[in-house]
Structures are given as C-alpha cells and as structure tokens.
Structure 1
C-alpha cells in the first residue's frame, strides 16, 4: 500500500486531505442536482457540428439508494444525432485530478492555446475552437470523480466512500450507469477514455461494469497508461523492471537534449538500440546482481553511459541502476537545470538540482496556469455554470487513498483488463504513449501488455501509438493532430462488424 501512495504523491504533487464528513461543500443541506444546457457549434474536419453542452451535477447513490455525493460533469452531445451514435466517458487521473486536461487539451470542442511545441505562452491565456476534437466521432461526457472539480461527498456519504481504488471504480461506474439510464443511451456504442491513473480506472470499470452490471464497452482509450505500478517502482536489489523499462525513455530524453553526441540520426533509432540493450545485456546484468563479473559490469556501465548521457563513474557509483529522480536532476546538472517528469523536454533552473523537497516539475508548472485560467473562464462565460466552490484542478480534494483492494491484485489492474477483454472479445483498446513521459514510460506499458497472457485474437484488438512529447502528448500541436488521426482510425476499428 505504501508503495502506491508514494507513487501517487510523486505523480501529482500538492495533494491535501480534509477529514470533514461532507468534504468542503459550502451548502447546507446537501445541494440539489443542477444542470445547465447551452447550444454551440464547432467546425471539425471541415464540417460544422451543432451540439448541446450540459454542465451539471449528478447524485451518486449507495446500494441502499441513499445519496452519498455528487459528481460534476460536462457532456457534449451532437444535435439531431441518430440513436446509435457512440458515447465516450472521459476522465483524468491522479487520483485527484479533474478531467480538465483531456477536456480542454484534446477531446472537447474547446482547447487551451499553447506554444506549438506545448510550452507555456504569455498570460493571459485563451481557449479556441478545437478542430481536433473527437466530437465528430462520439458524444463525450467528462467526469470529475468526487474530490476533484466541483464533485463532493455529502448526504450519507463521506470521503471514504470514494477515495480508494475500488471505491472510485464503483462510484464512477454508478455515475455512468445513471447517465445511461437518464439519457436513454443504453443502446449506444460505449467507450471509456482515461489518462494516467484514469487508465487504471478504465480497466477496473470495464471489468466491474461487465461483470456486475452487464455493460460491455466497444472500446477503451488509454492515454499515458499505467496499469501496473510495480513496474515503475525502484527497489534496489529487488525490482529490476523499473530501470529496464525506463531506459528507452532516458535515451529518448538524452537524444532530445543533445547529450548523446552524433551517435544516432533519429530518436527512433536511439530508442530501438536502447530497447535491445535493455532486454538483453542490461537485464542479464541486473539479474546477476553482485555475481556480475567486473569485466561485464564495466562494459554495461559504458553502454549505459552511451545511451543515457550520464557519466560512467556516476553509473558505476549507483550500481548500474539510475532511478528517475537521479536522471532528471543529473542529465543537465552542469548547467544548473533539471528536467520535467510529465514531459522531459521541459527544463527549469534550480539552485540545488538535487534538493528533492524543492523540486517542481517544470512540465506541470507550464500547463497548470493556462488550463486553470481558461477552464474557469469557459465554465462561467460559455457553459453558464456558476458555483462558489473551489474547483479542484489537481489535488486539494483528495489525499488519503485506500489501496488495500488494489494490493489484492498485486498492484496490477491489467489482470482486470484481460478479464474484461476475455468476457467481451470484441472490445478494442487504444494505447497512446509519449516518448518523453517519465511518469508512465512507454516501454513499461509495452512490457505490461506483452505479459497479459492474451490469446492472439485479443492481442490484435490492441492499437499502440507513439508521440514525440510527454504525458499530455496533445499539448504539442503536431501530436494533437496525430492523436486525432489515430483516434479516427480507432473508432472506425472499434465500430466495424
């Protein structure tokens, strides 16, 4: 349990936790459901899409049908659509993150304007019509789980009813069930779309709703997937998977920052060599541990230096294992720079780059302000949804997280995804990976999927895509465009008979 809590804390900094029984709901008694609808239009792929935006709150009920909280959501539905139009339920991760990133970064009809490469523009920030939205493919419902956005525990509920791996899966599933019922969408093709921890949530929801509620999904979209937290856990002398599966990301990052000389002509060439070394000589060396010969130890350290841009002496000092914190702080340490975790293309200056308590991810710092400002303005000015509650973008409403049931699954939710795919063999899975994502490394995801034990027919249901950016690959304009093209193919693939 402690391992996942540590990882969650590292994944999204700044989480705090309130022990009050009803969260930070300022209204007493528990508020009524609130729904605001507005009419809009957006041009996507040269076609005008007229749609209705619904911003509102929906009660969550326990098994006794008692109100235990409410979930804030934003739904976009195409006007005059046929009854068989697909519907996608989308959310971000954390746990503790609102759905703002997928909502305002890629899927929704509005998007935050960033620099072409995804770097932060000069404030004030703006949102524009998103011609790369998936609204031409599917209706979309963005969900803020309790403790994020405007969603709160209340009534007969407390934070403990929501803030845990299976508590979260079951209550978000309950929202989806209720939305399908109230909006007569049970016969629609159904999709889930999650980012980061939201990918773990998606695997759990597909399993839970299929097993217990009879709801099968046509497809699942996993953005920056993390289904098995143990793969990313550095435990020197015990877990050798993390250093092995992170190595290609180190190599891609070192190539981007021009720390590998002229050895490689492209990032793909560099990554391919790192993969081969990682799964062969490097893996064999780490398996031998202290029994590794000195000659082999020296040769492996030399190769690691060539692939990471770090000095051979530093690598030997760390016994051939470089954890993520060491890498981001040391690659450009001589310049006083540290790298981003969500996107290692980003850098920031630090007085002492090795002082962990002072570390601030420069890639998160670059997106936090623009996404917060534009979303808050957009909700009031265009969606006409008004509330004096704090909108928890990231952290603030979620802290302590119950992982005891996740431990039962050995921290590996891919087992539940495998079960859901076996139960529903027509379900397709889309996996988007960023080369420069240190939070959910792409090679770790490849490793996880290649060890799920799926029959060949179900392996063919998985579509892997790659982007030359990080965790939120869509902040980079060329990758936003590529992601939309890839999703066009995926929805067509998922809906084909």
Structure 2
C-alpha cells in the first residue's frame, strides 16, 4: 500500500515490456500495429495504434447487508490518448501515428477497469461511481478487494498477518447496493499499459494523469450508454487530488456535471504533507494539521504521560484547539520565540503526543511524521505505522531518526495482491499470461507541476488542487462533496483534510455542500470491518441523497 501514497517508499518493480496478447488480453505494440492500420474496419477512436480494447464478461451475486445483488461484471480495457489528441486527425493521419522518422509511434494508454452492473434495474436510472486509488503509481486493488467490490480479503487485527492462504469472503458492505461500480487502474499500473513516444511525459504527471482519467470516463459513458446516469467519483489518497482535477475538467471543459465526489484520506495541498515538512522551512502549517493524528496515535498506544483520557474525540478537540492557537503562535515566532515559552510549548506537546519534551525542544517544536513514528515507541524498538498508526513493527534501524518502513503495508499487502491475482483470473476470467502491477515507481518521471484554473501556465512546486475543487463547486453549485478519513492516518492526517475544506476559495453557502465523516481507523478506513460498515452506510446514504432519482 505504500505505493498508493505520495512520498511513501516507492516500489522497486520496474515497468516490464508488454507481452503478446491472448484472446482477451492487451496486444503488444508490434502485434496491434499491423492489426490497426487505417481502414474502414479500424476507423473507430476506441481502437488505438498500439492497443486494442479487450474485455471479459461474467455473472455473479453478492449479499450486501443481508440483501442479494445479482450483477454483471466486465473486466477490460479502454484506450486513451494524451491531451491534444483528435479523433478526426487520428482517422486521417493514422499512418503517421504508427511512427515518426525514428519509428516511434505516438503515446497511448490502455486503461484496465473492472465494472459491476446490477441486474434487473434500468441502467440509465442507476448511479455509477468511478473508483481509484492513488500513489501516484498505484493500481486500484485496495479499494477493489478491501472496500467495495463484491469480494473482500480478510485482514483482521493490527498485527502482521500470517502468510497464505488468505481468506476471501462475500463482501457484505459492497457498494453495489447503492451504485454500479467501475474500478480503474491508472496508466501503467495493474493491467493498464502505456507505450509510444514520450509515454512517461504523456501520462505521468498531475495534469496528464487527470486528463487520461477524464478521457477514460467519457469513453466509458459512451461505450456503456451511461451519459444520463447519476455520476460519482471516489478517490483515495492521491486519488483525491486526481478527483479535484478530473471533476473540474469534466464539468468546465466537457459540460459533464457530477452529482458527488467522495474523498477518502484527502490531500489537496501538498504543502500540508507531514511526510517531509523539514524540506519546506518557513511553512509550518503541516506540523499544525498533523498534531491531532500524533495525539490520537499516542492515545491509542497509551503513551500519554498523564494517562489516557477515556474518550478519544473530546481529547482530539482539545489538541485541535491547542494546535491552531498556542502551538501555531509559537511556530510563527520562529527564532524570536522566548526560550522559556518554547519549553512550555514543548512540555504541553509532550503531554499530547507522548514524545519527551527534551526531544521536542531539540527538534525546534517540529516533528515530521517519520520522526514521530520512530520516536513514539523507541524504548520498545518498535516503529509505528504510517498508513495506520495502530500498527507497530520491529525497527529496522534502532538508531535512525525516521521510520524505515510502514508496518501496516508490510502486514497486509501480500493478502491483497494474492487475493486479487487469484480472483481476477479465476472469477473474472481475465489476465492470463499478463503481469498485474499493484504499483510502479513513477516518481522519477512524475510531473508535479499543475495548471490551476485561470492560470496561463503550469505552476512548478508543491501541487495544490484546492482551486480546482473550488472551481468545480462554483461552476456546479449543486455538486456535493463527502470527506472521509481515519484518526490514525499518518500519511494524510484527518485534520489536514478538514483544514483544506475550510480554506477552499468558495462562498460560505457552498460549505453546506461538504459533509465530514471520521472513523477510528487508518488511511485505509475499510481495513477494519466495523469501519467498513460505517463507511459503506455513509457513502450509500450520500449517494441516495444526491442521485436525484425520483426527486
């Protein structure tokens, strides 16, 4: 799961060459190039030069909170192109698309999806939700097999799981009772593939990635006749900034209004990331929004020097108030902060987060997420989890300053990968002779610059897509937003999302379009069954209130 979160340790897997296709698999560039030469039989933009769409259709059923849902599942691919691609020009110039003077074809992506359609209801009246994880560089196996797909892998407890065999069960909290579902793998991840000239530049970047997803969604709406369905986006982690850019692009450029956007474990402004704030001196807001999660974690592990308060949430309200008042004021004073006052603040921080006041003082009152995760249980030689700080694991290096890995990711990733590889091939009848890539290392090539609405050029620096979400909400004042987060998420702290939403450049009246839901869980709220049920019920209720069916 580290691959799903920006600034997490990247996977070491390299992109491999595409294999030759079977009857239902993506063709390699060489094989599809000859099959897709221009001509009347191959003049649809759904077919690219390098790839052809493939699909496999199966039937199934799932019991959701006691009610049976029969469905049709389609596992397949759609072809998308970089920004500036024109279908008319494609028909006229497909020969040139086969290669430039060096023989390199233009970039294309084949994006893999798994769609679930409930049987027995008119599709035009059925909500449809597009779901994806983040990374960037992550496939969507996590939401698929952990949250809302019809099958779910069991990952109980906050300790390292035993190795295979893993247990996959009927998902009693699949979202199929409320909406048809489309799980999408980002270009280059999962069974999605990228190829052609400058493929990394074409698809690996904030804007390039969002454009690919927007193109995919439009293509999917056309292919399955869902243009008039209530529409939703569900993004987790980096999927949340992706959603902000995608919904703004589709609404303002393509006149496609959405009913709602669900943001799980949100980060829209990367200046607020608690991962590496030490590399952004002079900007202290990350330490402020991360403090309540530090406190929740110390509360969970019973590391508070004054004893653990009986209830978590009232305790967090105290910490939030301190973070935005006394703590924020102390940080703002910088080197002018009186040493005696600095010691007082360090002592109060120690009472809230369980780290010795002397260490906090030496750290200039500023602890990154990695520092906190390493120091909280250092006397036990344990590292605290990042994606879910309830988890702990043996410290890789007892003398290091920061945590060296994430114990939750180490604990449950194998279960997800094994479960999906088995499920997609045996139940969905897709993927034989192909490699499923749960994550790829895109950080070397990823372009974090972003062209915000109204800007004539992309801004280089920390990505901030708050203006995109604000623009989408103002352009479509009926757009509803649901924010969900876990108290024990050190990757994208829950208070960070709250802060971002309350600082969106929108009229006060549009703040009423945003709802908030928090859970005693981590980044993957759904990894804990009790919270998966609550998340399902909250999202299903959100869709039911906003789908405009019968209203």
> What is the distance in 1 between the residues matched to 2:472 and 2:466?
10
Q: Distance in 1 between matches of 2:203 and 2:535?
A: 32
* Residue correspondence of structure 1 range 12-161 to structure 2 within 5 A: 12-14=9-11, 24=18, 26=20, 27=28, 28-29=30-31, 30-62=50-82, 63-65=85-87, 66=90, 68-82=108-122, 83-116=124-157, 120-154=161-195, 158-161=199-202
Q: Secondary structure at the match of 2:226?
A: coil
**Is 1:169 equivalent to 2:210 in the alignment?**
yes
Q: Deviations over 1:248-288 (max 9, x none)?
A: 00000000000014252222122111101101100000011
- Equivalence map 1:228-243=2 (5 Å): 228-232=269-273, 233-235=276-278, 237-243=281-287
The aligned runs of 1:209-228 (5 Å cut-off) are: 209-228=250-269
Deviations 1:335-370 (A, max 9, x none): 100111111111111252343798121111112100
- Give the deviation of 1:376 after TM superposition: 0.2
SS at match of 2:177: coil
Could you tell me whether the CA contact under 8 Å between 2:204 and 2:442 is conserved in 1?
Answer: no
Instruction: Identify the range of structure 1 (108-117 vs 417-426) with the bigger mean alpha-carbon deviation.
Output: 108-117
Give the drift of 1:9: 5.7
- Three-state SS of the structure 2 residue aligned to 1:142 is strand
How do residues 404-423 of structure 1 correspond to structure 2 at under 5 angstroms? 404-405=449-450, 408=459, 411-423=463-475
Q: Is the 8 A contact 1:253 1:436 kept in 2?
A: yes
For the 8 Å contact 2:127–2:231, the answer to whether it is kept is yes
Preserved CA contact (<8 Å) 2:55 2:75: yes
SS at match of 2:145: helix
State the alpha-carbon separation in 1 of the partners of residues 272 and 310 from structure 2. Answer: 30
Alpha-carbon spacing, 1:128–1:204, altered in 2? closer, same or farther (3 Å)? same
- Give the TM-score taking structure 1 as reference length: 0.93
Scaled by the length of structure 2, what TM-score is found? 0.85
Structure 2 residue matching 1:345: 3-state secondary structure: coil
> 1:3 maps to which residue?
none
Equivalent pair of 2:373/2:403 in contact (CA under 8 Å): no
Once the two structures are superposed, the pairs formed by residues 52-451 of structure 1 within 5 Å of their partners are: 52-62=72-82, 63-65=85-87, 66=90, 68-82=108-122, 83-116=124-157, 120-154=161-195, 158-232=199-273, 233-235=276-278, 237-260=281-304, 261-355=306-400, 359-396=404-441, 399-405=444-450, 408=459, 411-451=463-503
Does the C-alpha gap of structure 1 residues 78 and 436 become closer, same or farther in structure 2, counting only changes over 3 Å? same
CA deviations over 1:92-115 (Å, ceiling 9, x no partner): 000111011111111111111111
Worse-superposed segment, 168-177 or 286-295: 286-295
Say which one has the larger Rg. 2
Q: Aligned residue for 2:506?
A: 454
- 1:398–1:238 distance in 2 versus 1, CA, 3 Å: closer
* Matched-pair contact (CA < 8 Å) for 2:4–2:137: no
Q: How many residues align?
A: 489
